[in-house]
């Protein structure tokens, strides 16, 4: 009987510790995680048990950029791309700048702003209540060492907005968009 109890306890401990992904250690871009001297490869991390840092600027840039080709009508005649970073956790100023720089490829003004800030700056048409550009926003993100699931929206007006869910995965040492899809439309 005692051996059965010990066996069940050991099996339970193995199952509980083996399930689920370990959350990644998140440190600012350019900074080393505690106990590391440089960014580690996945193999080194598995061998040492210390997780590599995640380039959050890259992950969020890829996820937000995946919003752009969906419902391209919202992009028509856009004068700017505004990115609401108020819900982005664990990012520093370097990550924010990396995200803003990434969107310069669209050849329009790029800024960090919330909807309220855009209205206050007069960047919304007061008659039609349509933004002169698009507002990209992350509502929530779940990030592990190998995957990020980002949910948010691309907004132009009350009648011109979409919800998005993007999955970004780490493959062969590079973050890549695996899947991007619309979750709602207005």
Strand order in the sheet with 174-185: 109-112, 80-84, 134-143, 147-157, 160-171, 174-185
The DSSP call for residue 174 is E
Decide if pLDDT at 19 tops 80: no
Domain range list for the chain: 2-48, 56-185
pTM of this structure: 0.73
d(CA 3, CA 41): 41
Which overall architecture, per CATH, does domain 56-185 show? Roll (3.10)
Name every residue whose Cβ is closer than 8 Å to that of residue 2 and which is 6 or more positions away in sequence. Answer: none
CA distance 127 to 92: 37
Residue identified by tokens 């509980």 is: 16
Pairing of β 109-112 and β 80-84: parallel
Whether 50 contacts 42, CB under 8 Å: no
Q: For the segment 6-16, what is each residue's pLDDT rounded down to a tens digit?
A: 343 333 333 33
**What mean pLDDT is predicted for residues 28-43?**
37
Residue 89 pLDDT grade (very low, low, confident, very high; cuts 50, 70, 90): confident
Question: Percent of the chain having pLDDT more than 70?
Answer: 72
DSSP run (H or E) holding 116: helix 115-120
Residue 52's pLDDT band, with cuts at 50, 70 and 90, is low
User: How far is residue 51's CA from residue 39's CA, in Å, rounded to a whole number?
Assistant: 9
């Amino acid at each position: 009987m005692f051996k059965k109890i010990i066996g069940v306890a050991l099996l339970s401990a193995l199952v509980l510790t083996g399930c689920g992904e370990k959350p990644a250690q998140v440190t600012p871009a350019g900074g080393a995680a505690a106990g590391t001297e440089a960014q580690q490869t996945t193999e080194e991390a598995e061998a040492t048990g210390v997780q590599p840092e995640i380039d959050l600027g890259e992950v969020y840039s890829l996820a937000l950029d995946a919003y752009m080709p969906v419902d391209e009508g919202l992009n028509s005649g856009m004068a700017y791309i505004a990115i609401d970073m108020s819900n982005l956790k664990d990012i520093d100023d370097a990550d924010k700048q990396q995200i803003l720089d990434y969107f310069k490829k669209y050849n329009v003004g790029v800024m960090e702003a919330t909807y309220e800030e855009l209205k206050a700056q007069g960047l919304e048409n007061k008659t039609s209540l349509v933004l002169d550009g698009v507002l990209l926003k992350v509502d929530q993100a779940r990030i592990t060492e190998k995957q990020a699931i980002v949910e948010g929206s691309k907004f132009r007006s009350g009648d011109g907005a979409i919800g998005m869910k993007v999955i970004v995965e780490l493959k062969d040492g590079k973050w890549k968009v695996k899947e991007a899809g619309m979750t709602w439309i207005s």
